Amino acid sequence: MGQSITVENLQAWYGEQLTLREISMDVDANQVTAIIGPSGCGKSTFIRCLNRLHETIPQGKVRGRVRLGTEDLYAMDPVDVRRVVGMVFQKPNPFPTMSIYENVAIGLKLGGIRNKSELLDRVEQSLRMAALWDEVKDRLHKPAVALSGGQQQRLCIARALAVEPEVLLMDEPASALDPVSTLRVEELVLQLKERYTILIVTHNMQQAARIADKTAFFLNGELIEYGDTTTMFTKPADKRTEDYITGRFG
For 173-187, what is each residue's pLDDT tens digit? 988 888 988 988 899
Q: Is residue 76 part of a domain?
A: yes
Q: Is residue 52 part of a domain?
A: yes
DSSP class of 54: G
Q: Is residue 250 part of a domain?
A: no
Q: Is residue 174 part of a domain?
A: yes
Q: Is residue 50 part of a domain?
A: yes
Identify the domain containing residue 173 by its residue range.
5-245
For 14-69, what is each residue's pLDDT tens digit? 999 999 999 999 999 999 999 999 999 999 999 999 999 998 988 999 999 999 99
Burial 225-245 (b: 16+ CB within 10 A, else e): bbbebeebbeebeeebbbebb
CA distance 132 to 76: 33
Q: Is residue 93 part of a domain?
A: yes
- The total number of structural domains that make up the chain: 1
CA distance 166 to 187: 19
The residues, ordered by sequence, that sit 6+ positions from 115 with a Cβ below 8 Å of its Cβ are none
Give residue 248's pLDDT band: very low, low, confident or very high (50, 70, 90): confident
HSE-CB at 101 with a 13 A cutoff on CA atoms is 12
What is the CA 197 to chain-centroid distance, rounded? 9
Angle between the N-to-C axes of helices 100-110 and 149-162, in degrees from 0 to 180, rounded to the nearest 10: 20
What's the CATH code of the domain at 203?
Answer: 3.40.50.300
Identify which of 135, 128, 112, 102 has the alpha carbon closest to the alpha carbon of residue 191: 128
